[in-house]
């Protein structure tokens, strides 16, 4: 099975508007479930229901789901108003994930697919219909286009110009991890060269709770206590996440940042082998884990963490541990070596986005080599004998130790109705050493508005401040090659991180150029000066740092050597202390004109190596040649 690289990711989760904020919350053990006061509850909540003593006013909330940059994505105000927030949010997250991967679909030589799903549409039922916003057949048809999950991935493909498969996946709670597995298979089958995969769940109104029922899935107090003796259910949460995937060989060849590697994946269904349609099944769960491990070609004993489905139900947790144990026991009798966790204790159950939340958590854990705590665990569920299993609950933040072998993890997601998914993750291979970089870098920024440009400038400065070890050359390359160009632009040349920060923070006009530039193809003309512009040391830095310039000048000097008495290389690049003598020699016409011609010719070839072709040329004196 081909290994698949995770080269980008983005998400919006309760208490976190980015994957980095999400990780910070996880490692700090933050529970991001909101508990609402009476005055915070939405008016849509029935007063009689919230007065019921069984009413639990808690949910994982994503801030700003009502906000959407409609013009950025080419939506009219009416279209934005009609569109399910799940669709809007996932479109934004898709854009962010591609930027995180440094992948510009319009400039990418391969095809990009998109595989995703979303939760049930509460926006249509609870907002559009009661507000009377669907008057007339045309309005109803448009509402269908903007609310049916059939159009979720195809709209993303249309708006972002993705030419690979665009497939909506719907398998209830396992939707987003099944989408990841489907994307991996499409990459393995060469149906696309990169893929977006994930899901969203946004229930509106957000500021609303639920009625607790004995033996139901909802927790009586709004806390999810996965694998704990007090576990009595989960709590709902909203969120969205996506990852960008490539075949590992392609990602390494492209120089991508690899955050983790998917070694194996599997999807199955419980069938009728369980007590009821909504019940979990041991056989199906054990089989999907076993299959994923077998396809990954890894021993169960090499897996030291499993991000479980972990809903915190008295029935579901023991079944999941029993299934995992059966899968691991096919090859090992060791106990207690594998940590077990559940992101649902932090953010609740994100339904269609639950699997992608668990995957992103585990990718971050591998990348940072830390296992974050699973919350509210004090004593094991009496139905689970952990001492007889390969597992223990990761209740505290701890370093993810390794014996020198790659760190590996499993991620599970099980859907109501029996569709199960499991992926086997491995930490990313060590990146190659950074190549020699130019002493100066060109940083470019662009945005659709002046305000967005200022915000992008601030984000870049903040990134450079908080990531002092990131090579500035990598930042410059990503800004140029991995970002879509927009009309409002800002550029600066800098010599190192500190110089870049100084320029970004002061925006001194002599250092930073800011312009509004509509997309256009503008001709470039090469201008070549004549005699009098020469001097000792001219183009020395270009010769030292630009291979194309150096090769062209070396060739010219070699061809000229039989015809010129002087050593032109010694005149162009004199030894320390010999500069005055070289300047004097360069005043002689035969030396000056030959040296100028060779330098100008090498400069022209350097520009052409960067893809700049002249529409015309103009020269003075020797420059005419």
Determine the 3-state secondary structure of 513 from DSSP: strand
- Pull the structure tokens for residue 424: 């086997």
Q: Compute how many other C-beta atoms are within 10 angstroms of the C-beta atom of residue 303.
A: 25
Please report the beta strands in 525-586, taking only residues with DSSP state E, as ranges in sequence order: 525-528
- 18 noted as active-site residue: no
H/E stretch holding 10: strand 4-12
Of 228, 431, 401, which is closest to residue 304 (Cα–Cα)? 401
Query: Could you tell me if residue 55 is left (phi over 0), alpha (psi between -120 and 50 degrees) or otherwise beta?
Result: beta
Q: DSSP readout, 349-380?
A: B-GGGHHHHHHHHHHHHHHHTEEPPPTT-SSB
Q: Which residue in 87, 100, 173, 184 is the catalytic one?
A: 173
The SS3 call for residue 338 is strand
Q: Is 349 a catalytic residue?
A: yes
Which among 349, 376, 422, 494 is annotated as catalytic? 349
Q: For residue 257, how many other CB atoms are within 10 A of its CB?
A: 17
* C-alpha–C-alpha distance, residues 16 and 62, integer Å: 8
297 dihedral zone (left: phi>0; alpha: psi -120 to 50; beta):
left
- Catalytic annotation on 127? no
What are the DSSP calls for 148-211, one per residue?
A: -GGGHHHHHHHHHT--S-EEE--BTBTHHHHHHHHHHHHHHTTS-SEEEEEEEE--SSSS--EE
Catalytic option among 87, 100, 309, 376: 309
For residue 421, the SS3 value is strand
> Any residues with CB less than 8 A from the CB of 319 and at least 6 apart, and which?
280, 281, 282, 285
Query: How many Å apart are CA 222 and CA 93, to the nearest integer?
Result: 27
Burial class (CB in 10 A: 0-12, 13-18, 19+), 252: middle
Which residues, other chains included, contact 425 with Cβ-Cβ below 8 Å and sequence gap of 6+? 260, 261, 262, 263, 359, 362, 363, 366, 408, 409, 410, 411
Given 18, 449, 609, 621, the catalytic residue: 621
Pure H helices in 211-261:
248-253
Q: Are 11 and 356 in contact (CB under 8 A)?
A: yes
Q: Which residues pair with residue 338 across a beta bridge? A: 391
| 209 touches 58 (CB < 8 A) | yes
User: Cα–Cα distance between 117 and 413 in angstroms, integer?
Assistant: 14
CA proximity to 307, closest of 159, 390, 409: 409
Give the residue numbers marked as catalytic.
173, 309, 349, 621
């Amino acid at each position: 099975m081909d290994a698949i690289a995770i080269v980008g990711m983005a998400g919006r989760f309760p208490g976190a508007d980015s994957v980095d904020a999400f990780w910070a919350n996880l490692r700090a053990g933050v529970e991001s479930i909101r508990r609402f006061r009476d005055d915070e509850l939405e008016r849509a909540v029935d007063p009689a229901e919230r007065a019921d003593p069984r009413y639990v006013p808690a949910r994982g909330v994503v801030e700003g789901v009502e906000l959407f940059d409609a013009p950025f994505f080419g939506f009219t105000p009416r279209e934005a108003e009609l569109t399910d927030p799940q669709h809007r949010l996932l479109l934004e997250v898709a854009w962010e994930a591609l930027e995180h991967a440094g992948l510009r679909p319009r400039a990418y030589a391969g095809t990009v697919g998109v595989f995703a799903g979303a939760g049930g549409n509460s926006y249509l039922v609870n907002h559009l219909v009661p507000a009377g916003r669907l008057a007339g057949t045309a309005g109803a048809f448009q509402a269908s286009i903007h609310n049916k999950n059939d159009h979720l991935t195809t709209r993303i493909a249309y708006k972002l110009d993705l030419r690979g498969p665009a497939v909506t996946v719907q398998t209830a709670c396992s939707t987003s991890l099944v989408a990841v597995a489907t994307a991996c298979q499409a990459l393995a089958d060469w149906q696309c060269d990169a893929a977006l995969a994930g899901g969203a769940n946004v229930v509106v109104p957000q500021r609303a709770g639920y009625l607790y029922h004995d033996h139901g899935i909802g927790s009586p107090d709004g806390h999810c206590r996965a694998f704990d003796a007090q576990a009595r259910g989960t709590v709902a949460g909203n969120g969205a996440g996506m990852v960008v995937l490539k075949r590992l060989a392609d990602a390494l060849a492209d120089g991508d940042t690899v955050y983790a590697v998917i070694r194996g994946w599997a999807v199955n269904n419980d069938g009728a082998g369980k007590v009821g349609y909504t019940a979990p099944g041991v056989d199906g769960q054990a089989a999907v884990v076993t299959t994923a491990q077998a396809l990954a070609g890894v021993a169960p004993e090499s897996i030291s963490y499993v991000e479980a489905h972990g809903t915190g139900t008295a029935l579901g947790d023991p079944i999941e541990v029993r299934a995992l144990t059966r899968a691991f026991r096919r090859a090992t009798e060791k106990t207690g070596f594998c940590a077990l966790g559940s992101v649902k204790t932090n953010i609740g159950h994100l339904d269609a986005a639950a699997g992608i939340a668990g995957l992103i958590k585990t990718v971050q854990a591998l990348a940072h080599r830390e296992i974050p705590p699973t919350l509210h665990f004090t004593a094991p569920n009496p139905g689970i004998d952990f001492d007889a299993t390969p597992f223990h609950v990761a209740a505290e933040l701890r370093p993810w130790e390794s014996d020198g072998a790659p760190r590996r993890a499993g991620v599970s997601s099980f859907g109501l109705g029996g569709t199960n998914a499991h992926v086997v993750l491995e930490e990313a291979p060590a990146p190659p050493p950074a190549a020699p970089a130019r002493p100066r870098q060109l940083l470019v920024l662009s945005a659709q508005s002046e305000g967005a440009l200022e915000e992008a400038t601030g984000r870049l400065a903040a990134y450079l401040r908080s990531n002092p070890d990131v090579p500035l050359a990598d930042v410059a390359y990503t800004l140029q090659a991995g970002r879509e160009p927009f009309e409002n632009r800002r550029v600066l040349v800098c010599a190192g991180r500190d110089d870049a920060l100084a320029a970004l923070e002061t925006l001194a006009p002599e250092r930073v150029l800011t312009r509004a530039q509509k997309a256009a193809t503008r001709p470039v003309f090469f201008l070549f000066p004549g005699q009098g512009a020469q001097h000792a040391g001219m183009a020395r830095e270009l010769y030292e740092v630009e291979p194309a310039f150096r090769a062209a000048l070396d060739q010219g000097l070699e061809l000229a050597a039989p015809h010129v008495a002087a050593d032109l290389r010694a005149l162009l690049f004199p030894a320390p202390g010999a500069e005055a003598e070289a300047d004097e020699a360069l005043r002689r016409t035969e030396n000056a004109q030959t040296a100028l011609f060779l330098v100008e010719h090498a400069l022209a070839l350097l520009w052409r190596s960067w893809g700049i072709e002249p529409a015309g040329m103009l020269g003075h004196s020797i420059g005419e040649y």
